[in-house]
Amino acid sequence: MAKLEDQVLLEKARQFDPGALEAVYGLYSDGLYAYACRLLGDPSLAEDCVSETFSRFLQALRRGQGPREFLKAYLYRVAHNWITDRFRHSPPEELPLEDSSVGIPDSAGDLVDAGLRAKELRAALRRLTPEQRQAVSLRYLEGFENEEVARAMDRPVGAAKALQQRGIAALRRMLLREDSSP
């Protein structure tokens, strides 16, 4: 969506135009759900996150607050904050990783192995700092450009890139350590 179209949509949403609010939900809900599901690993919690994200967006609009531009970045920041709060109040359970390196030669086994690897990655992502987790997730899982990551995080581009690099380095260390453990 072009920036001008996004700006017009946001202005209409600020006026509580039902069509604009529906369009905002239609444009961003699937992406927010996928983002939350990847980080939380729980579809039900991901649905709660999306619901709360849009609820907070509407509450901000009612108060005359909310985004003036960069709606997508704003919504992802709200979702990220909800996820971070969730982790603070109920830390994620540690996933057993001992069996993850066992290879099963058939395709069903490969599927299981890929699922275990995804759980490992999700568990490792949870151990990053909230800022590193957000930077890495937005850039590499959601496909945001560096400028979009920076806007979503309300940081300069260089700071967002540095968080990505530190996050990737930490993930690499965690996953290599887990791969080499007996």
pTM for the whole structure: 0.68
DSSP secondary structure string for all residues of 10-59: HHHHHTT-HHHHHHHHHHHHHHHHHHHHHHH--HHHHHHHHHHHHHHHHH
Please say which residue of 67, 91, 115 terminates a domain.
91
Using an 8 Å Cβ cutoff, are 134 and 127 in contact? Answer: no
- pLDDT tens for 7-64 read 899 999 999 999 999 999 999 999 999 999 888 888 999 999 999 999 999 999 999 9
Q: What is the CATH number of the domain that holds 55?
A: 1.10.1740.10
The answer to whether residues 84 and 30 belong to one domain is yes
Range of the domain at 76: 1-91
Tell me if 96 is assigned to some domain. no
The answer to whether residues 71 and 132 belong to one domain is no
